[in-house]
Amino acid sequence: MKNLPVLFSLAWRNLWRNPNRTLVTFVVVAVALYSVLVLGAAMDAWARSSRDANLNLLTGSGQIHAKGYLNNPTVSYRMPEPDKSLTQALNDPAISGWASRVRVPAVIQSEYKTLPLILVGIVPEREQHISTISHQISAGQYLTSPDDRGIVLGAHLAKRLKTRLGKRVVVMAQTRDGHMAEQAFQVIGLFAGNQEVQDNYTFVGLNTARHMLDIGEDISEISFTIAHEQLLDTTIHRLRQAAPSLDVASWRILSPMTSAIDVLMQGMVYIWLLVMCAFMAIGVTNTQLMAVFERVREFGLLLALGMRPRQILTQVLLESALLIGCGVLAGMGAATATILALHDGINLSFLAQGAEYLGSGHVLYPQLAPDQLLTLSVIVWILGVIVALWPAYRASHSNPVEAMHHV
């Protein structure tokens, strides 16, 4: 439109005819967007922390099993070590680390108590690249080799068993022939962290577990981690091609609760966005209707002088777009500054037990991707302009004669 520069200039001047009302609307929009962006960053930090805390324990980014193992995780559903094709796929740069394991249901017995758990046989050196268990040793030491004869228990499990470092426990599990094997282990280490993992998992050397279960060189699973989450689907597809007879699953399938929390946190951001937009819509609609009501005679005069309704509609919409745009920019700036100020993380150590119970880490690192920042900001701006359509429509469809006599 050739008159757009003139309408733009008029719209900007009209914003400051009532600075108090303009500032109120400006603050409403800025605060609404600020809360959405900061809450989004906090929710994303919590979701990432919870996801990483769970996946870095045992699950990893994905796992490979013999078909049927996930439905019946026993020694009967085992597989050989990866062949050349699968090893080549696992050594792809997209995969930051992988490790073979034996994982079977077992029973552990101390002098005082007997409890069920999962026995995990690991290669300690490889496990350190994909799991945080080695960094969570609270007493004693970690396993040193696949042939290590010791056992690492959860600290809370040790309390339940009434055992401690240096004591012996007996682990019983089913062998490949269906017989019950038992072996005594000396407790060499205790790990802390997630209480569910402490109570349900115990770690021994991979070869030690193989020998106990009489499974030769077979394993139960291969766990792997990827360098970047966006490479997950491509990596899963490549591994399935390399091992078509095996079951390759991502963490979203292996840990549905973690996946559900991840989706829930993303949904919460948009739910809060809708709430804030509702409040913003009420504020913008009210202030714009007040502005239109005060300027009824002005709009009537402009229509009488030959200004087209479309031009009045454009002018009022431009006023709203400029006002909401300024609020959006202010909200973006304030939110970005806040998120950058928290780049060292939010320390939740004073809520350590609660954070542990919720499965998140003790430090949250709020982040917001530039595309998400821009998307949320544009959504707020567009919704704000849409809300202003009604006041603008009323202004552009005033009856000149009636408007001129409006008091």
pLDDT digits (tens, 9 = 90+) for 51-95: 777 788 888 999 999 999 999 998 989 999 999 999 999 999 999
- The number of residues in the chain equals 407
57 DSSP 8-state letter: I
The SS3 assignment for 205 reads strand
The model's pLDDT over 301-328, given as tens digits with 9 standing for 90+, comes to 666 766 777 777 777 778 888 888 888 8
Q: How confident is the model at residue 155 (pLDDT cuts 50, 70, 90)?
A: very high
Q: CA-CA distances (angstroms) from residue 259 to 48, 109, 240?
A: 11, 34, 21
The model's pLDDT over 99-116, given as tens digits with 9 standing for 90+, comes to 999 999 999 999 889 999
The model's pLDDT over 112-149, given as tens digits with 9 standing for 90+, comes to 899 999 999 999 999 988 888 888 899 999 999 999 99
Q: Report the pLDDT value the prediction gives residue 300, as an integer from 0 to 100.
A: 66
Q: What percent of the chain has pLDDT over 90?
A: 42
Q: Is the pTM of this model over 0.75?
A: no
Q: How many Å apart are CA 267 and CA 275, to the nearest integer?
A: 13
Q: Report the pLDDT value the prediction gives residue 407, as an integer from 0 to 100.
A: 45
Q: Give yes or no for a contact between 372 and 33, defined as CB atoms under 8 angstroms apart.
A: no
Q: How many Å apart are CA 395 and CA 293, to the nearest integer?
A: 8
Tell me what the mean pLDDT of segment 172-196 comes to: 90
Q: Report the pLDDT value the prediction gives residue 354, as an integer from 0 to 100.
A: 52
What angle is formed at CA 85 by the lines to CA 71 and CA 205, rounded to 5 degrees?
A: 55
Helices and strands, counts by H and E, the chain: 16, 12
Count the neighbouring beta carbons within 10 Å of the beta carbon of residue 305: 8
The SS3 assignment for 169 reads strand
225 DSSP 8-state letter: E
Rg (CA), the chain: 31
Q: How many Å apart are CA 159 and CA 112, to the nearest integer?
A: 11
pLDDT(356) > 70: no
Amino acid at residue number 79: M
Amino acid at residue number 119: L
Tell me what the mean pLDDT of segment 324-333 comes to: 90
Lowest mean pLDDT among 7-21, 188-202, 346-360: 346-360
Farthest-apart Cα atoms in the chain, separation: 99
The model's pLDDT over 227-272, given as tens digits with 9 standing for 90+, comes to 888 899 999 999 999 999 999 999 989 888 888 877 887 788 778 8
Q: What percent of the chain has pLDDT over 70?
A: 87
Q: Report the pLDDT value the prediction gives residue 318, as an integer from 0 to 100.
A: 81
Tell me what the mean pLDDT of segment 325-339 comes to: 91
Strand bridging mode 95-109 / 114-122: antiparallel
Count the neighbouring beta carbons within 10 Å of the beta carbon of residue 385: 18
Query: What integer best gives the mean pLDDT of the chain?
Result: 84
| H or E element in which residue 291 lies | helix 256-294
219 DSSP 8-state letter: B
| H or E element in which residue 310 lies | helix 309-341
What angle is formed at CA 79 by the lines to CA 91 and CA 94, rounded to 5 degrees?
A: 20
**Dihedral over Cα of 338, 343, 344, 345: its sign:** positive
